[in-house]
Amino acid sequence: MGIPSIVSSRILGCVGGVALVALMAADSRAEGNDYPTTARADYVIGCMAANGNTREALLKCSCAIDTIAGLMPYSRYEQAETALGLQAGGGVGGRVGLFRDPPQIKAVIEELRRAQAEANLQCR
């Protein structure tokens, strides 16, 4: 005895609808989660080292990178981290001004600092 065709059509329609919703949710998570695992791990490791390498630091630091990732796309985060790294290291041939003075660089660094400040508030 089989399932009547109208019932099987409705079941397939429901299953298809659930699958479509799941795919849409996965796509939206992927858009908001474009940070590579290595970038997240690097952030957490550096943050933990600066904050005592404790379990509490692990929780706060992982929360912080998740918050930052929710506030700015990875491409902007990467630009800010690169500029800050070049500033800290003296820049290319000591030309720090190239990575400090342009308005675009200032804007992306400020965006990262705002995201970090928000992460500090959210991840206590």
- What are the pLDDT tens digits along the chain (124 aa)? 555 555 444 544 444 443 333 334 334 344 556 899 999 999 999 999 999 999 999 999 999 999 999 999 999 999 999 888 877 765 555 555 555 567 888 899 999 999 999 999 999 8
Q: How far apart are CA 73 and CA 35, in angstroms?
A: 8
Please give the model's pTM, rounded to 2 decimal places: 0.66
Q: Which of 47, 67, 65, 69 is nearest to 56 (CA)?
A: 47
Q: How far apart are CA 124 and CA 101, in angstroms?
A: 33
**What pLDDT does 28 receive?**
38
